[in-house]
Structure 1
Amino acid sequence: MIRAIRKNALALGAAAVFCVAILSLVNQQTAPRISEQLLASKLAILSEVLPGVDASQSLLQDCLLVTNEALLGRTTAQAVYRWRQNGELAGFIVETTAPNGYSGNIDLIVALTPDGTILGSRVLDHKETPGLGDKIEARRSPWIFSFSGKTVTDDNASKWAVRKDGGDFDQFTGATITPRAVIQAVRNAALLIQQQPELADIPANCAL
């Protein structure tokens, strides 16, 4: 009886080791492909927020990891890319998060000039309600384009809100929380660039 139990235990152990080995092999084979897909997806989005700019992998080489929970929405570091033309700083691409979406975090990317003027913005990931909150996606609605060309000043700070709250931006019928969260996140990305001019000179530390 004991011998049979030991035999079964050894068989189960061997099977477990075999399964772990197979999973490890599959992970090694698929990880590069997943990484390539994520890179391609990020470059495609960068091409949208920086029209006319060659969004190649070299654009991602001049990258900073920045931790600022108040302005970037996470306790962990977010990526900030520096876009250059003829060797001169032409703008920043900020990855940021709206932590107060209706259904949780809304991850965004915002392109800005060195003075904080917004060139473009896109949603990277969210879990907002289909048919309501998902209008923050460019493929669902042109709403996300309403930030382009805007900046944040002392005079217009109160206008960075939905119209229902006295601001300049449309809300969605039945989904006011979602646009409020995105407006705040985009505004905060502009404030980050305005308030941290040292980002222009810090050595890159997260190149892909």
Structure 2
Amino acid sequence: MEYQPYVSSVSKARVLLIGPVGGGKSSFVNSVNSVFRGHVTNRTLIGSGPRSTTTMYSTYSFRNDTPPLTLCDTMGLAEDTVSGLHSDDIISIIKGHIPNKYKFAVDSPFKAGDISPRAIKEKIHCVAYVIDVSKTPMLSTEMKTKICAIRSKIDELEVPQIVLLTKVDEECPMVGKDVETVYRSDLIAEKVMEVGKQLGIAVSCIIPVQNY
């Protein structure tokens, strides 16, 4: 991988993964690590229940900094206001205030207080919304409203945002047989257009992926 951050003070780009519980954030971390290790790995705990398996903010870099990325995993978003990641915590993460292995408390968001501004290398450089394309519906009305509100706050920070559509192999039988056909699938194309319209994100910033 030849990618290198264009700012000399940043050795690795920090990508924040956020999205509904069960969307595939932790699986994506494992998938990226597996690709660059050459075999299947399990660096993060994966769950399938209604509550988020991830309860701490965790950052993951890769052997020999290949790729030169740090993936930042978070607690999943929930439709209600009594569970899941708090939107205020997302902003604190992006600004670089929340330390690695910080345990989230839904009823008590992180208080930055008088913490001094962080260096650019400690901040988040890109936000990726991780969404399960095989769910019906992909996003409930409540979840769409919550993500759009989060998007609006992140827009004010001028941080780039993309969408990772996971489980494309489960949604489309053709892709399930051969993932290389993903960009020839009319079904996946429809899902890309749908989530782009719901969240107001350009289709060029929506990436269909298959996790291990």
TM-score (norm 1): 0.24
More strand by share: 1
TM-score (norm 2): 0.24
